[in-house]
Structure 1
Amino acid sequence: MALRDFFLYSYLSENAYLKPLSLKRSQLMHKDDYGDVKIEPWFDEVERFAQDHSFDVNYYIKANTTSELRNRYVVYGAHLNFHYENDKFSTLYSDIDSVLDAFIEDENSTTTDDLSLITDPYEYERAIAEVISNLGAEARATQGSGDQGADVIATYADVNYIIQCKLYSKPVGNKAVQEVAAAKQFYEGDYAMVVTNSSFTKSARMLAEKLDVLLLHHSQIEQIFGEGSTDSVTVNSNESCSYEAVMGALSSPETERLKKHTSEFLSIFEPTVSENMFVFDVGDCSSFVACFASHDDDVFRTYIDYLFKLTDGLSYDEKILFTLNDVESDTSRYAEHLGIRLFTDEKILDYLHELIAIHVNEE
């Protein structure tokens, strides 16, 4: 790495730009249907970044070097000033691209953790293709209309995977399962799967089982394309305690009763309601509340994991779980660690009365 590149790398690292830039490059540089790498969108993006940050880069270089070093810096035998000139953004963005090569080599580019940072559905598709490629498969995002329901097509160990990607703030339903099953037939794939940042509805799970479609949270990708196989994947890696047990608890009389009372109390906030979940605003505070009752601690923990994956990356100020059963202290701490507050019995009423009091005062 050239000396000026070293200072550029340090600037990008200290300002936490390296990871988002590498992710953006992986998203914008992709292969088209003919296998050609499309680089123009990335060059446009990095040129814009260079224009926006050239002053700060030059200031950083000046602050961390001596005038003698800046004035005697030699690159490729030619005398150059250490600074990037305003009319030479192409030099800066070319150096940024070179610096990212070193960073990506160290970081192994996009990981499944990075996927939770994405908010654009098309970027999500490209990033999933990148993650799968990093795991040793050949993968490309279809990126266009006429894809017949396939967002990513991957080949791993001579097995073809047809993948639909869903960046959702709610559970994924039947339509995605139907579309990817049809795409599998169209592309003559071996496996069809839906990958999401969210979860799946009960009917989607039932249909997927019928149509032999794999349903994955994006954190499970490595179970397929890493050291695992399709046989090792469940709908949710933390649901080994039994999906049926969780669904049974969701439809239990206790959960239904809790949901009914919660709905009555929260009605003044006009919440958005989905099954046993409520989303509403109180003043400037956005809240997510779920109702769930189970006396089986393993089942209860599984549902906590589900809520975490469902709401991870979503901008709720409060994530709350109401329950009627006693909760073990370890489970309570576990939920708190995941950013989910647990309320039981009287504490539920106290919380609801507090919300109503805030609402009345604001009125």
Structure 2
Amino acid sequence: MFSILKSLFKVDAKSMGVKLKKNIEEAAGNEKWFSNYFPSQECLYDPDQCNEYRDYTYMLGCQVRNSIIKGFLTEKDYLSKLCSKQEQLIYMDDYGDLVFDDWHRELKRFTKKRDCEIISDLKSKTPQALVDALIKTERWDNYVFEDEFLTDEIWSCIDQIVNDEIYNTENFDD
């Protein structure tokens, strides 16, 4: 009996996820930040029957959040500068280990100066359907970094975007 109910919730979670994805695509499909980050709709995370809706909203929210922040960094001409900074500040020590300390300090300094502007941009560009879903599933605070780890979360997100940008550029050039 329990497994039947559980499977019904999974199907419902998937259909809710499909609807959310469609609403986001309709609301943001023409936005530059969206089309640059998601060149095709297949790039946007798909709901899986094994995931709960709450987990799906979190995964989808992370993708949308990263795309909005990447759009912000690109519009302000910060992304290429951050990529250069990362390449300058990460080095290999005498033991052959990569040292990230200077890069992380720079990233935190960069983020701390701009966190309000980043969050404002994020809130203004997030599709309302995603806002509603994140609030309903109690994921909104994580999405907009409204907790005691605000700066750490933003710099971690930006670090991922910069790493992806460098990795994609290096692979494209080969």
Q: Does the Cα contact within 8 Å between 1:54 and 1:84 map onto a contact in 2?
A: no
Match of 2:163 among 101, 105, 113: 101
Report the Cα distance in structure 1 between the residues aligned to 2:138 and 2:131, rounded to whole angstroms: 13
TM-score normalised per structure 2: 0.55
Instruction: Name the larger-Rg structure.
Output: 1
Q: By how many angstroms is 1:86 displaced? A: 6.8
Q: Kindly report which structure 2 residues correspond to 1:320-359, keeping only aligned pairs within 5 A, or say none.
A: none
Q: By how many angstroms is 1:3 displaced? A: 1.6
Q: Does the Cα contact within 8 Å between 1:73 and 1:79 map onto a contact in 2?
A: yes
How many residue pairs get aligned? The number is 109
Q: By how many angstroms is 1:14 displaced? A: 1.0
Match of 1:89 in 2: 151
> Are 1:39 and 2:100 counterparts?
yes
Q: Secondary structure at the match of 2:126?
A: coil
Match of 2:64 in 1: 3
Question: Runs of 5+ in structure 2 lacking a partner?
Answer: 1-61
Match of 1:64 in 2: 125
Q: Does the Cα contact within 8 Å between 2:111 and 2:155 map onto a contact in 1?
A: yes
What percent of counterpart residues are identical? 24
Report the Cα distance in structure 1 between the residues aligned to 2:140 and 2:124, rounded to whole angstroms: 18
Q: Does the Cα contact within 8 Å between 1:29 and 1:38 map onto a contact in 2?
A: yes
Q: By how many angstroms is 1:50 displaced? A: 1.1
Alignment deviations for residues 169-226 of structure 1 (CA, whole Å, 9 cap, x no partner): xxxxxxxxxxxxxxxxxxxxxxxxxxxxxxxxxxxxxxxxxxxxxxxxxxxxxxxxxx
Q: Does the Cα contact within 8 Å between 1:54 and 1:86 map onto a contact in 2?
A: no
**Which has the higher relative contact order, 1 or 2, with Cα contacts under 8 A spaced 6 or more apart?**
2
Report the Cα distance in structure 2 between the residues aligned to 1:4 and 1:57, rounded to whole angstroms: 10
Q: By how many angstroms is 1:67 displaced? A: 4.4
More strand by share: 1
Q: Does the Cα contact within 8 Å between 2:68 and 2:122 map onto a contact in 1?
A: yes
Runs of 4+ in 1 over 3 A off after TM superposition: none
More helix by share: 2
Q: By how many angstroms is 1:68 displaced? A: 4.5
Report the Cα distance in structure 1 between the residues aligned to 2:133 and 2:64, rounded to whole angstroms: 12
Match of 2:75 among 14, 39, 42: 14
Letter in 2 for 1:83: V
Report the Cα distance in structure 1 between the residues aligned to 2:113 and 2:155, rounded to whole angstroms: 11
Report the Cα distance in structure 1 between the residues aligned to 2:95 and 2:144, rounded to whole angstroms: 40
Q: By how many angstroms is 1:44 displaced? A: 0.8
CA spacing shift, 1:85–1:48, aligned 2, 3 Å: farther
